[in-house]
A and B are shown apart, each in its own frame.
Chain A
Amino acid sequence: MSDLQQRALSAVEERFGDDFLGADSHAGQHWAEVKRDRIVEVLTMLRDELGFDMLTDLTAVDYLDKGERERFAIVYVLYNMAEKGNFRVKAWVPEDDPEIDTASNVWLAAPWAEREVFDMYGITFAGHSDLRRILLPDWYEGHPLRKDYPLEGHGERHDFERYRS
């Protein structure tokens, strides 16, 4: 574990003891898992005190029936310009109330990424000023990257005839 990741992990654990759910790693990469409630505070602290000035990526994973903590995980990939290292934060979002606070006040990069997560997973971001679909048309039904959304059939161009006329 790099020094930066170690410091980031212990800072999150120390400051957010109750909301810190644990740390995990794979292939030498480490991440912190947190509850969704104080995610903005976690991210703000990482930005201001640990120098993670860039939000490299924001995405989600649907762990349907995988026996994980909750169904959805929002993954924040952060990068520290000065120390040249990255770190991930995973916030768990339950299925029955898929909502989490927006990170758009922490990084300018967040709004579009959150719109994409909303578009693909149906997770809403509280406080987002412009939460519309981004890749799919507004009239689209469903959220295709959810695991219970089939690859074929649903959402195919049933309206194709209509537009041709």
Chain B
Amino acid sequence: MMSVERPTRTPIEIEEELDGDLGAKRMVVNFGPQHPATHGTLRSVIECEGETVMNMDLEIGYLHSGFEKISEYRLYNQTVTVSDRMNYLSPLCNNVGLSCAIEKLMGVEITPRCRVIRVILYELSRIADHILSVGLQAMDLGAFSVMLWSFIEREKLYDIFEYVTGARLTTSYTRVGGLMRDVPDDFEELCRNFMKSARRTIGEMEGMLNENAIFVERTKGVNCISREDAIGFGITGPLLRACGVPYDLRRDVPYLGYEDYEFAVITEEGGDVWARYRVRVREMYESLKIIDQGLKMLPDGPINATLPEVLIPRKTESNKPKGGMEGLIYHFKAFMHGAGHGVQPEPGEVYLATEAPNGELGYYIVSDGTQKPYRWRVRPPSFYNYQAFPRMCAGEMISDMVAGLSSLNIIAGELDR
């Protein structure tokens, strides 16, 4: 057995500050990793003077699960299940992003129907993520009912996801070149029902918060970050758009045919918690617009590209005697180990990013021509967003830090991977 010392990580030494004038001396406060306001396993060691944050050391990695290492030992389609577990508020976004990256690596073109279904589910996930984020942001500032309303809407969304994919959270819905299965017949009706209630709920949330003196006071001008710093830190998503930078990969580097949809890239000025809240709320309306257009244009046709050697055949096709031998052969081909079976991209590498609810979710995949990725790297938006947090908090009150942290919407699953 290896000799293991107790972890000693904190560079800031805790001083004995309990005698004398507390306000004048610096004090070190440990925040998390099990604090309810951290929404996950985040730890920060805060050096403060009175209640003012002077310096902060962030410690992450409590939820590290070695996803990148595990994925190097999985077949390409199996890595979709790993991607579920990263941003657990919007797992479908991770699925879609990963499949798009592998398809780009292989040069596979997906069918129009598959593309539209992916867009609809992507935007539904974005609403699920944003609505919960706004709800929790309000909860951290004392408006508890908003959180409950947001949970009700999210629950309806998760019902749709469960109906479509078979799981609420671990959706694993996409496959290389297509989807696990087609959406059910009443998918459109379900989405339309949800859109109606979501529009009402988001309106109610806005009505509760927009002119709420406590909420406005505690968010405006809090946790600011400048445009230049935000770009330098690699901050993406709603946080960057809250600084007035119209950076949205759906429009800038279109994928999945996003150029066919009409939507606005939402920006706000200020770069504070209020601007982030406004960006998220307004983006939900844009997502509703995209879903509406997607449902209208949803074409008929196959959901899978015609790549029988690569696609996993449906169970009914391969198992039933009527499915014929071909289904069975392709099933073997998809899962057999060795050269020439299943998904096997040419040697090469690709970086493909999609606009996930939290920002740029990039996949950097290196193939060495075998059935397993040689390198499977995720560029998690939370990782880069969270790095800037000490800069945002410097000189502010500890209580504002809580407001700031919930506005970042850090998801520990993708932060630590």
Contact = CB atoms under 8 A, between A and B. Distances in A.
Interface of A: 26-27, 29, 53-57, 59, 61-62, 66, 75, 77, 81, 84-86, 88, 107-109, 111-113, 116, 120, 130, 132-139, 141, 144-145, 149, 151, 158-159, 162
Contact of B5 (A54, A81, A116, A139): A139
B107 A27 contact: yes
A136 B247 CA distance: 32
B213 interface: no
B232 A107 contact: yes
Given A77-B351, A108-B388, A112-B387, A151 B234 contact: no
Nearest to B103: A27
Contacts of B105: 26-27
A135 B379 contact: no
B61 A27 contact: no
Nearest to B5: A139
Contacts, number: 114
A138 B7 contact: yes
A75 B364 contact: yes
A59 B233 contact: no
Decide if the interface of chain A is mainly helix, strand, loop or mixed.
loop
A151 B9 contact: no
Contacts of B350: 26-27, 29
B66 interface: yes
A32 to B, nearest CB: 14
A86 B245 CA distance: 17
A109 to B, nearest CB: 3
B384 A109 contact: yes
A27 B348 contact: yes
Interface string B248-283: 000011000000000000000000000000000000
A54 to B, nearest CB: 5
Interface size range of chain B in the complex: 35 or more
Contact of B379 (A61, A77, A85, A141): A77
Contacts of A75: 364
A108 B229 contact: yes
Given A27-B104, A59-B377, A139-B7, A84 B384 contact: no
B1 to A, nearest CB: 6
B69 A109 contact: no
B387 A109 contact: yes
A135 B9 contact: no
A111 B351 contact: no
A56 B362 contact: yes
Contact of B364 (A57, A62, A113): A57
A59 B104 CA distance: 20
A135 B252 contact: no
B88 interface: no
B61 A135 contact: yes
A132 B52 CA distance: 27
Interface string B8-21: 11010000000000
